[in-house]
Amino acid sequence: MERGDSENGPQKDQLIGHEPIFGLLERSFGSGRMVHAYLLTGPKSVGKATLARQFAGRLMTDTVTLDTHPDYIYVKRGLDPKNGKTRSIIALDQVHDLRGKLSRRALLGGWKVCIIDGAQYMNREASNALLKTLEAVSYTHLR
């Protein structure tokens, strides 16, 4: 683990230039006004994924590290089963898997967090399936 990192990812002070966004997320959390989805956009390599992981770690304040937390889901372009190389897209099967995981209650009773890293790589079918998932959110599962 590098200096300045916690078990849940980089520390807030490493998010140079993201203080206003992190502050907005913190205020939403503190006031109990979290929404079911946030979209972080911007140029490549400015820290969107780092910010998302940092805030996910903030929501999941258990003793489990973020990457092994049962209520944390990380989606990115996976490996193509045919050739073993990174897929060029986030495919429909990945979103269907995500949908199944999101349909169940949080195992540790807190928040369930999903980060989709590289959502721009979703194909049309995956994008539509994710949109339907977000539109059909079950508020009984939200904390």
As a whole-number percent, the residues of the chain with pLDDT over 70 amount to 83
Q: What is the pLDDT of residues 45-56, one digit of tens each?
A: 888 888 899 888
Cα separation, 141 vs 143, in Å, equals 6
CA atoms within 13 A on the CB side of 3: 0
Helix ranges, the chain (H): 19-30, 48-59, 92-102, 124-135
Q: Counting Cβ atoms within 10 Å, is residue 132 exposed (0-12), middle (13-18) or buried (19+)? A: exposed
Give yes or no for residue 121 having a pLDDT over 90: yes
pTM of the entire predicted model:
0.76
Is residue 113 within a helix (H) or strand (E), and if so which, with residue range?
strand 113-116
Q: What is the pLDDT of residues 49-86, one digit of tens each?
A: 888 998 888 888 766 788 889 999 999 998 888 899 99
Average pLDDT, the chain: 81
Cα separation, 24 vs 90, in Å, equals 29
Q: Residue 55 in contact with residue 72, Cβ under 8 Å?
A: no
Cα separation, 87 vs 104, in Å, equals 27
Q: Which residue has the higher pLDDT, 96 or 13?
A: 96
